[in-house]
Homo-oligomer: A and B are copies of this chain.
Amino acid sequence: MAPRKVMSSTVVFLVATACSPGVDTAREAQQLLEIDRAWAQIAATGNMPDSVLSFWAEDARVVLAGEPVFQGKAAIREMLTDMASVPGFHVTWTPEGAEVSVAGDFAYTFGSNEFTAPDSTGELMTTKGRYITVWRKEADGRWRCVMDYTNPAPAEGPTQ
Chain A residues engaging chain B, CB cutoff 8 angstroms: 7, 10-11, 14-15, 18-19, 61, 63-69, 99, 101-103, 105-108, 110, 130-132, 134, 136, 146-147, 149-155, 157-160
| Contact among B64, B103, B134, B147 with A151 in the assembled complex (CB-CB below 8 Å) | B64
A106 vs B69: C-alpha distance when bound (angstroms): 24
Interchain residue pairs with CB less than 8 A apart (8): A15-B18, A18-B19, A66-B153, A67-B154, A101-B105, A102-B103, A132-B147, A149-B151
**Contact assessment for A65 and B103 in the assembled complex, using a CB-CB cutoff below 8 Å:** no
Q: A123: shortest Cβ distance to chain B, in Å?
A: 21
**Contact assessment for A157 and B7 in the assembled complex, using a CB-CB cutoff below 8 Å:** no
**Contact assessment for B65 and A65 in the assembled complex, using a CB-CB cutoff below 8 Å:** yes
CB contacts (< 8 Å) of A159 on chain B: these are 69
**Contact assessment for A101 and B108 in the assembled complex, using a CB-CB cutoff below 8 Å:** no
CB contacts (< 8 Å) of A157 on chain B: these are 68
> Provided the pairs A63-B132, A154-B68 are in contact, do residues A147 and B110 lie with their beta carbons within 8 angstroms?
yes
**Contact assessment for B149 and A132 in the assembled complex, using a CB-CB cutoff below 8 Å:** yes
Q: A105: shortest Cβ distance to chain B, in Å?
A: 5
Q: A76: shortest Cβ distance to chain B, in Å?
A: 15
